[in-house]
Structures are given as structure tokens and as C-alpha cells.
């Protein structure tokens, strides 16, 4: 029996941000209905980085993403984050496909924030502020452009080169480079930096803003003044991951914020168990850490689309 092989180019060519948003939103819906299964991710530390095993199952699919973080890779000409996903048949355990999950990770992270904006931002939102013009900025822009039309984008970064590259990549959007305060004066704000100290001050955030806090993904990282969290409706992708490694992790460690103050999960908001913002003056925050059900939903879409199209390489890995 064949195991399908989808390399990075195949994955890129098979998916659009529209597809990924649909798949990830469905994953949140299924999780909200109690149909997703996702044990906590496991960390394996090595000398120059770490690996994470992220297993998950949704109806009709199961698998594991194996992703590394090696910060020194850039000097070797390799991405610091690479991911492989084993996509298995939940009925038999058979490995149906092995795919690059580096692009999946980037796209699903953008999609999850876009979905959070769809449910949490003011419905009339039409401006987006991007804080940090690195790798994450690209899929955040793609996802929000898919869901909010028209949208004006302003971006801040300490690196002019990063801003220039971002603007060159999206000639269709006329991204405006500006100060952090100007970028934060948007309807929707995406914070995408590796900061370990709050860079977004409370007084810079207007009532009604929705913030996707994406940068913090490990203990010790944070981007927002904890006073923003205290005043906001905070929605997380996963209670345990967000508390341990998301935007709220440092304030929780310091005793400034408690898990009891979390409003709910995005899955609960998507299925309507929790309603999200009450009015146009609420500040909402989505604390995104990245969860394996998002990857698995996209992998399912990719596997099915690749099968439909045909012509992708495979290997009889199991000799069955």
C-alpha cells in the first residue's frame, strides 16, 4: 500500500489561504463540539535546539507533526523551524502520507489568527496593524486579506529591510510602514515578534481593538503590557499551552494574571458556546500558541486534494 509523499513545493501548490482558513475553522468547530483529540505536545531538548511531537486526531484523520526549533540554523543556510507530518488513517493506523509541514505551520498560524479576528474583531474592521515584519507577517496578511475586504495594512518593524521585503512581496496591498503607535491604532493588531518584554503599551490600544498575540510561543516570551490582558476579553487556542507558553505565560508566572481570567477558547467562540465581544468598545485578545488539530485539518485537506489530483510520488513504506 502506498504512502503519499508531499514535499514543500507540492504542499505550497496544493493549498490556498482560503482552503486553509476553511479547514482550520472546521477544526475549531469540531473541537468545540468535543470531536477533536489532542494530547499535550511533548518537547525533546537537544544541544542546539528542540523538537516537539504534536499528535492530534479529528474525525477521519489522525497524525503527528514533528517540528524543530534551531535558532542557529540561519547561519547554516537552513530554516530555524522545519516540520514533517505523518498523516495516518485513524481506522487502521496506516501511514497514508508523509508531508512537509513547514508551510502548513505558517499557513495555519495565519489562518487561526484570521479566524479569531472574524469572530472577535468588530465586524466593520478594515484596518490591520502588523507588529513585526518577519516570517509570520506574510500569512497573517494573507489570512486577513481573505477575510476582511477591503483592508488597509500598516506595519512596524525595527528592521527597515524586513519592512521593505514585506512591502515588495505584497504590491497589491500598499502596506504602509509606520511607527508602532500608528500600527497599533488599527482595528485589528497582530503582534508577531520574539519579544521577551512587553512592547505594546496599554495607552496605545484604543477601545474596540482586536489583538492577535502570536509572537509568544515559549515560556518567558511576551509582547503585551499585562494591563491590556487585565482589561481585555482574552481568548486562547488551548488553555494549557497558552498558560504555559503563550502571551499570558509571563503574567501568570508573575501572579499578575490568572487562568481564571481567561474568557474561553476560540473553539468555544466558533461554536457559539461563548459569544466573544459584547460591544464595540471591548478590547479582545487572541492568544495563539499553535495547536496540532490545526495542522491535522490542513493535512487532511492536502491529502484529499492530492489524491483527487493524482500524480504525486509515493513509497510502499510498510511493505504491505
Residues with a catalytic annotation lie at 65
Residue 132 gets the label, from left (phi > 0), alpha (psi -120 to 50) or beta, of left
Q: Can residue 313 be called a binding residue for its own copies (CB under 8 A)?
A: yes
Query: In angstroms, what is the minimal distance from the CB of 291 to its own copies?
Result: 14
Name the β-bridge partners of 190. Answer: 130, 212
Answer whether 130's CB lies under 8 Å from 137's CB.
yes
Out of 22, 53, 178, 244, name the contact with its own copies by CB under 8 A: 53
Q: Can residue 149 be called a binding residue for its own copies (CB under 8 A)?
A: no
Query: In angstroms, what is the minimal distance from the CB of 14 to its own copies?
Result: 13
Out of 49, 194, 208, 264, name the contact with its own copies by CB under 8 A: 49
Query: In angstroms, what is the minimal distance from the CB of 317 to its own copies?
Result: 5
Out of 22, 37, 176, 305, name the contact with its own copies by CB under 8 A: 37
Q: Can residue 88 be called a binding residue for its own copies (CB under 8 A)?
A: yes
Q: Can residue 115 be called a binding residue for its own copies (CB under 8 A)?
A: no
At a CB cut-off of 8 Å and minimum separation 6, what does 212 contact?
A: 113, 116, 117, 140, 188, 189, 190, 191, 285, 286, 288
Query: Where would I find the beta strands (DSSP E) of the chain?
Result: 3-6, 42-46, 49-58, 61-69, 81-88, 95-100, 127-131, 152-156, 176-177, 188-191, 210-213, 233-236, 264-265, 284-287, 314-315
- Grid cell for residue 36: 477533536
Size, binding site for its own copies by CB under 8 A: 53
Q: Can residue 316 be called a binding residue for its own copies (CB under 8 A)?
A: yes
Would you tell me which residues interact with its own copies (CB under 8 A)?
5, 7-9, 37, 39-40, 42-49, 51, 53, 55-57, 62-64, 66, 68-70, 73, 76, 78-79, 81-82, 84, 86, 88, 90-95, 98-100, 102, 313, 315-320
Amino acid at each position: 500500500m502506498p504512502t503519499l509523499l508531499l514535499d514543500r513545493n507540492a504542499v505550497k501548490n496544493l493549498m490556498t489561504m482560503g482552503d486553509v482558513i476553511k479547514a482550520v475553522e472546521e477544526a475549531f468547530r469540531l473541537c468545540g463540539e468535543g470531536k477533536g483529540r489532542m494530547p499535550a505536545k511533548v518537547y525533546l531538548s537537544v544541544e542546539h535546539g528542540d523538537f516537539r511531537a504534536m499528535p492530534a486526531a479529528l474525525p477521519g484523520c489522525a497524525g503527528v507533526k514533528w517540528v524543530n526549533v534551531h535558532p542557529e540554523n540561519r547561519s547554516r543556510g537552513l530554516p530555524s523551524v522545519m516540520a514533517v507530518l505523518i498523516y495516518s488513517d485513524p481506522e487502521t493506523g496506516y501511514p497514508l502520507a508523509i508531508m512537509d509541514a513547514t508551510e502548513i505551520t505558517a499557513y495555519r498560524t495565519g489562518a487561526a489568527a484570521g479566524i479569531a479576528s472574524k469572530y472577535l474583531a468588530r465586524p466593520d474592521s478594515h484596518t490591520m496593524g502588523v507588529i513585526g515584519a518577519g516570517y509570520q507577517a506574510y500569512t497573517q496578511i494573507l489570512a486577513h486579506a481573505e477575510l476582511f475586504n477591503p483592508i488597509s495594512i500598516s506595519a512596524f518593524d525595527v528592521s527597515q529591510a524586513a519592512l521593505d521585503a514585506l512591502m515588495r512581496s505584497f504590491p497589491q496591498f500598499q502596506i504602509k510602514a509606520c511607527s508602532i503607535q500608528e500600527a497599533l491604532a488599527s482595528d485589528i493588531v497582530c503582534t508577531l515578534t520574539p519579544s521577551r518584554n512587553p512592547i505594546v503599551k496599554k495607552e496605545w490600544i484604543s477601545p474596540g481593538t482586536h489583538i492577535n498575540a502570536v509572537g509568544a510561543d515559549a515560556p518567558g516570551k511576551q509582547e503585551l503590557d499585562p494591563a491590556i490582558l487585565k482589561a481585555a476579553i482574552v481568548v486562547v487556542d488551548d488553555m494549557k499551552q497558552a498558560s504555559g507558553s503563550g502571551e499570558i505565560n509571563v503574567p501568570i508566572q508573575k501572579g499578575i494574571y490568572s487562568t481564571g481570567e481567561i474568557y474561553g477558547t476560540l473553539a468555544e467562540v466558533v461554536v457559539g458556546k461563548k459569544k466573544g465581544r459584547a460591544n464595540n468598545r471591548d478590547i479582545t485578545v487572541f492568544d495563539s500558541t499553535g495547536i496540532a488539530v490545526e495542522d491535522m485539518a490542513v493535512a487532511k485537506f492536502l491529502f484529499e486534494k492530492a489524491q483527487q489530483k493524482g500524480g504525486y510520488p509515493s513509497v510502499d513504506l510498510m511493505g504491505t
